[in-house]
Structure 1
Amino acid sequence: MRLFRDPNYLDFLFATGFIPDRNMNAVRDSRDENVLRDDDTDKQRLRATESDMNTHTDDPEQAGSKSAFNSKKALWAFLVLCYSTGPTSSMVSNYVTAAILSAANLLGHQAGSNKPCSRRGTNISCLVKFGGGEIDFNSYTLYLRSISRATEGIVSIVTAGMADYASYRKTMMMASIFLFGALALPFAGLTGQTYSHLTALSVLYCFLTTIGGVYTVIEGSYIPIFMRSTGWFRDSRVAASQGERATWNKGVSISVLALVSSNLGGLTALIIGVILVYGRGSYVQVGYFNYLLAITIGGCITILFALLGQYLLPSIPGKELDRTKNKFPLLMAFKNWLKLLKSATKYSEAFKFCIGWVLWNTGYSNHMQLMGALFLQVTGFSRSSGVYSVWSFTGVIFACMGSLSFMYLYPRLHFPVKSYAYAFLLVNISCVLWGCIGVSNNVTIGYKHQAEFWVEQVLFMSTSSSLRAYNRAIYSSMIPENSEAQFFGLEITLDLATGWINPLVMGIIQDRTHNLRFPMIPNLLLMLVGLGLYSQVDISKGIEQAKVPLGH
């Protein structure tokens, strides 16, 4: 809360036009005089007002609704909703996978014998039942991730194809958030150390990941709406000049604040997890049941804050749905997705940026899962419950620090806008490369000591969170109006090509090698290719392309 009371921070938001203020016109006029010395064309952009937006939008009612997002109430409502998803999302990425791995390690056996699996080691060989056969227990979660990412992509096609119409956007987002929280409630009862309970944990994990894709698509689509409500989206010529900072500061602000709000929600649930672990006893006494109870509590927090966000967030009308031509909304969603793919050459820069984002995100998310499993393995399943809870907690803190630092430094450092992406990606690539070095048993480094995990966490989490904020802000500037959900859904639907294949390949590699560092190699390759695509994007050209509505 202190963040929003800081006068310097409020001045920054007022100056960028993100939060309206009685003195906003004076602030803008002052900034105009400074920018005018560098480039006279910036004047048109920086003096864009609400009346400009009404002129840009043919429907006055729609323009009025969008102007409602240029308010503190809309900002707080959106941040509350982002906060509400944080507890469950954090539990899914940390505690759900940890609980599944712990249960699989407990139920599995060593290869070639019926002896229980080792509880600690740099390379644990442990087999667990999966389908009609047996697989490495670390491959278990990788195969689950492959399944859930495939279903997430299919559901996201429907979401992205429908959310931009009428009032579907808010309705679909709220329904997905409520369902997201509700699916977390049964975990506290799944304490049986049996294969049936392991299967139930696995099914719930897949459902949670799938539903998470729905709200992720729609949440991201609100960023360009907030940016347009402040009147920035006018003249692409300024994007190539020094006025680009006035253009993108708003996007960076809302993107960072959304991520930080979600992370704060995650911290709330993780604090509860730490209290449970140290308050109810160690792993030996309670096992991974502390994780399960924390997941259920996180689901309750998600539902409670979603109710508040539902009340505060204004609705926004989208494109009108012609019922005479679209009698089957689900079929319409797939038609819209195909139409979007056909426009790849028309919005070439947005597509290139999105593909680079997808490749990085696939490598990032899979690396996160591998690091969680590797941390549990190196520190020991039998005594790592408390340490893992603290490690999960500090990871979110470093993510918040990274994105907030980026928001503070971006308007003050006059580096080319793409240089930020290069810097963040290079740090990410270095962290993944470090794990690949440890593939050989003869090498003593490569995430084989607990200290390495803490250093990696500081570097990887801070830069990854900053890059995610950067991606959403820059991508928003290359999206045509009234197609926000479709384009943000593109990031997840394109993931159908790599999101499920990569975990599947990683699972096969892990099943053969029993070494969690080997599956890091595909992630390294994905990030390197993603870096190459980022370098090919012409952002100014992408903003120019976004002036033409989709379908015209």
Structure 2
Amino acid sequence: MPSRSSQDALESAIVETEAEPNTASLNSKKALWAFLVLCYSTGPVSSMVASYVPAAILSAANLLGHQQGSDKPCPRRGGNITCLVRFGGGEIDYASFTLYLKAISRTTEGVVAIFTAGVADYSNYRKTMMIASIVLFGALALPFAALTGDSYSQLTALSVLYCLVVTVQGVYTIIEGSYIPIFMRATGWFQETPIAPVAPGRQGSSPWTTGVSVSVLAMVSSNLGALTALIIGVILVYGRGSASSGGFDNYFLAVTIAGCITIVFALVGHFLLPSVQGKELRPGENVLVLPIKGWFRLLRDAPHYSEAFKLCIGWILWNTGYTNHLTLMTALFLEVTGFSSSSGVYSVWSFTSVIFACMGSLGFLYLYPRLRLPVKSWAYLFLAVNSLCVLWGCIGISNAVTIGYKHQVEFWVAQVLFMSTSSALRSYNRALYSSLIPKGFEAQFFGLEVTLDLATGWINPLVMGAIQDRTHNLRFPMIPNLLLMLVGTVLYFLVDIPKGIEEAKLTRL
């Protein structure tokens, strides 16, 4: 188990060194701004996929469903009456609809991630792969404006588009994440010893500072893109009114506009971001079999990168609990506030969610160098707040308990706490993980995070959907999310960061 002194040592483990030749082009403000433009481009559609699209699907499922045992329509507010909707060859609880879609989309995302991560490190077209995936990401958002009808065919079309967008999102997420360690190596890398003092006056240019800064600024830039799209959504909702009975016609128009913004800024970023040279293929290797061979080598050498794997698995468990809790909170918020009357309220909810996420990441960037806490203390703080927010929902499972996301004010307080700490933890994870990745395998290791998520990523929504089908209480499915976060916290505790840095220097793959 890592000692306290070994964790404190990370604060003095980094000094400036010469930039590596193949990454030197990224050691400039122009390259950073170009990267941030690309991160901004992903924000508009990403925010729509995280908020408006699932809410619209949930609203449509509620509108098309019927009360159990009768043909009566489902209530648009309150969750005491069981509401069933067609799914495949049977019927399920309407609130399970998005959970099952999430399970399907995470599975396809993981499969595509295997190929992406397997070839991206070898390609001199890493930038082109990322741009192409972002443009496709935006293009898939364009048809949403036409899907405003209230029919099962429209619901099916929404569901298919949602799964496709989430799948493509996994591609650019991997390649975007792989740029963080590349930016760090453009600044320099770690000295031979993890206890070397930081050079006086040079902390601002250290690789760790660079990694944290790039990770946070990338997150904030994406959130600014999200705010742009959400502002458009708020203007449309309050300015145009609602034409469809579900009240999401304006949201769909906002999704389409977000797709246009994503495509335009992705093309701008393509001309600004420098290209990075990939690894050379080994003699006799075929690019088509690289993904399979690469994953076999990675799993074979897992013991040599034990700390990176422990952090990766802990990150995955937390991220699964985090993303699925957001899905449940969306459904619960709409259920408590009402589908018909909450169109404007939900716009504000989505808008403030991104604002608090920006505040959390920027707060971490500001406080980290000033508080001088042991580096893992930040993870413990963020994880504790996240777990508390999920636990609060579990407390409300009993009808006899009057708290547990049963009043609007609880949602707003939880949003401040949950979104700020979650965003900060995501920035933290990407920077810390980058410091444990061996040179030349950036996309492979960031793809590992997505690929290993194949297990928890689709199983957990499936489990939550089954729980919801049987309990018809959106607070019950929060229990597995809480368990995932607690187990993830244990793995964070077991990670020895200085040891992981040393492991990353010895490239064995």
TM range (shorter): over 0.9
* Residue type at the aligned position of 1:301: I
Are 1:162 and 1:168, in contact at CA under 8 Å, matched by a contact in 2?
no
Question: Given the alignment of the two structures, is residue 125 of structure 1 paired with residue 125 of structure 2, yes or no?
Answer: no
Cα pair distance change 1:407/1:98, threshold 3 Å: same
Question: 2: CA distance between counterparts of 1:254 and 1:123?
Answer: 46
Matched, 1:48 2:5: no
| Cα distance in 1 for residues equivalent to 2:478 and 2:370 | 36
Q: Structure 1: how far apart are the matches of 2:507 and 2:81?
A: 54
2:16·2:187 contact (CA, 8 Å) conserved in 1? Answer: no
> 2:152 — aligned with what?
195
Percent of matched pairs sharing the same residue: 71
Cα offset, 1:45, TM superposition: 5.1
Measured after TM superposition, the shift of residue 335 of structure 1 is 1.4
- Report whether the alignment pairs 1:98 with 2:58: no
Q: What are the Cα deviations for residues 431-484 of structure 1, in whole angstroms up to 9, with x where unaligned? A: 000000001111110001000000000000000000001100111000000100
- Residue 350 of structure 1, CA deviation: 0.3
1:496-543 C-alpha deviation (Å, 9 max, x unpaired): 111100000000000111100000000000000000000000000000
Of 469, 474, 486, the match for 2:432:
474
1:31 alignment counterpart: none
Cα distance in 1 for partners of 2:342, 2:48 equals 17
Q: Does structure 1 residue 360 correspond to structure 2 residue 318?
A: yes
Alignment TM-score, normalising by the size of structure 2:
0.95
State the alpha-carbon separation in 2 of the partners of residues 429 and 111 from structure 1.
Answer: 34
Counterpart of 1:6? none
Per-residue CA shift, 1:39-58, capped at 9, x if unaligned? 9x96x9534234xx3xxxxx
Structure 2 counterparts to residues 17-416 of structure 1, below 5 A: 46-50=15-19, 53=20, 63=21, 65-238=22-195, 246-282=206-242, 287-322=247-282, 325-327=284-286, 329-416=287-374
The one-letter amino acid of 1:175's match is A
Q: Does residue 512 of structure 1 match 2:470?
A: yes
Q: Aligned in 2, Cα 1:330/1:507: closer, same or farther, shift over 3 Å?
A: farther
Residue 326 (structure 1) shift: 2.8
Deviation at 1:241, TM superposition (A): 8.1
Tell me by how many angstroms 1:359 deviates. 0.2
Structure 1: distance between partners of 2:299 and 2:188: 28
- Quote the offset at 1:235 in angstroms: 3.0
Q: Please state if 1:453 is matched with 2:411.
A: yes
Q: SS of the counterpart of 2:263? A: helix
Q: Which has the higher contact order (CA 8 A, sep 6+)?
A: 2
- How much has 1:182 moved relative to structure 2? 0.3
Structure 1 partner of 2:441? 483
- Give the SS at the match of 1:191: coil
The answer to whether the Cα contact below 8 Å between 2:312 and 2:433 also exists between their aligned partners in 1 is yes
Q: Which residue of 2 aligns with 1:7?
A: none
Are residues 181 and 511 of structure 1, via their aligned partners in 2, closer, same or farther at CA, if it must alter by over 3 Å? Answer: same
Match of 2:489 in 1: 531
Are 1:465 and 2:465 counterparts? no
Runs of 5+ in structure 1 lacking a partner? 1-37, 54-62
Return closer, same or farther for 1:414/1:127 CA change in 2, 3 Å cut-off: same
Q: 1:310 is aligned with what amino acid?
A: H
State the alpha-carbon separation in 1 of the partners of residues 246 and 151 from structure 2.
16
* Alpha-carbon separation, structure 1, partners of 2:503 and 2:252: 48
Q: Could you tell me how far apart the structure 2 residues matched to 1:536 and 1:180 are? A: 37
Deviation at 1:124, TM superposition (A): 4.6
State the AA in 2 paired with 1:294.
A
CA contact (8 A) 1:152 1:213 kept: yes
Q: Does structure 1 residue 499 correspond to structure 2 residue 454?
A: no
Match of residue 14 from structure 1 = none
In structure 2, stretches of 5+ residues that fail to align are 1-7
Letter of the 2:17 counterpart: A
1:237: Cα distance to partner? Answer: 1.5
Shift of 1:284: 7.1
Does the CA-based 8 Å contact 1:284-1:382 persist in structure 2? no
**What's the offset of the Cα at 1:282?**
4.7
CA RMSD in angstroms comes to: 2.0
TM-score, with normalisation over the residues of structure 1?
A: 0.87
Match of 1:443 among 401, 404, 414: 401
Kept after mapping to 2: 8 A contact 1:283/1:383: no
Partners of 1:166 and 1:321 within 8 A in 2: no
> Do 1:395 and 1:458's aligned partners in 2 also have CA atoms closer than 8 Å?
yes
Q: Which amino acid in the other structure matches residue 371 of structure 1? A: M
